[in-house]
Structure 1
């Protein structure tokens, strides 16, 4: 029972990690210091997909499922809704590359917006200093 709960928790953590990697840059628009946490996680998440590595959360989940006597992902909200998003059927190497590139492009655009905003703020503050 505890191992099954822990496996579900790992899936939820995995899903939260994926969401943060893809969309965490939007949070960094509001809280720029979050970029110090987000960017290394983006590099890790994109790297997993681009290089074809296996995220360490996946084997951990499988070990916990086996310890709970489970063979697959049948039953429960997490298993029914989140698992297919994390482990879609028919996931190929090309899909992984596309996902890695998507994550990279989304975050380059978001961080480009952050950099532009910072440049504009600097220009405004320089303009105010020059006028005074």
Structure 2
């Protein structure tokens, strides 16, 4: 039973990682400190794609499935659960480009919001300094 739980945990973590990859930059608009976690997440996502690495969560899922006596998939998480389900099989690169564009838009919005907050803080500080003179 423990191996089956590990399979589920690996799948949930994988879905969570991909969801955070897609929306983490937008979450940083409200929680700016989380941008660092999103930069790391996006960096890992790009590294896995560019270097054709196997994600450790995929290895965990395969190991747990083998331990549970289940069939072990020869494809990765995205190929097995997303390709052909969320987007057509022949549009893998289109999906990657769209996801990349979503991330870039979120980061652009983050930078614009951060600059506006900083300018507002500077204006408040300048206003307070003028009051004390």
TM above 0.5, yes or no, is: yes
CA contact (8 A) 1:3 1:68 kept: yes
| Residue 84 in structure 1 maps to residue 98 in structure 2 | no
CA root-mean-square deviation: 2.6
Task: Pick the structure with greater CA Rg.
Answer: 2
| Residue 26 in structure 1 maps to residue 23 in structure 2 | no
Whole-angstrom CA distance in 1 between matches of 2:123 and 2:13? 46
Shift of 1:127: 4.4
122-131 vs 38-47, which deviates more?
A: 122-131
Q: Specify every segment of 5 or more residues in structure 1 that has no aligned partner in the other structure, as ranges.
A: 74-82
* Residues 88/8 of structure 1: CA separation in 2 closer, same or farther (3 Å cut): farther
CA contact (8 A) 2:29 2:113 kept: no
Q: TM-score, normalised by structure 2?
A: 0.74
* Residues 102/17 of structure 1: CA separation in 2 closer, same or farther (3 Å cut): same
Q: TM-score, normalised by structure 1?
A: 0.74
Q: Specify every segment of 5 or more residues in structure 2 that has no aligned partner in the other structure, as ranges.
A: 74-79
Shift of 1:72: 5.6
121-130 vs 42-51, which deviates more?
A: 121-130
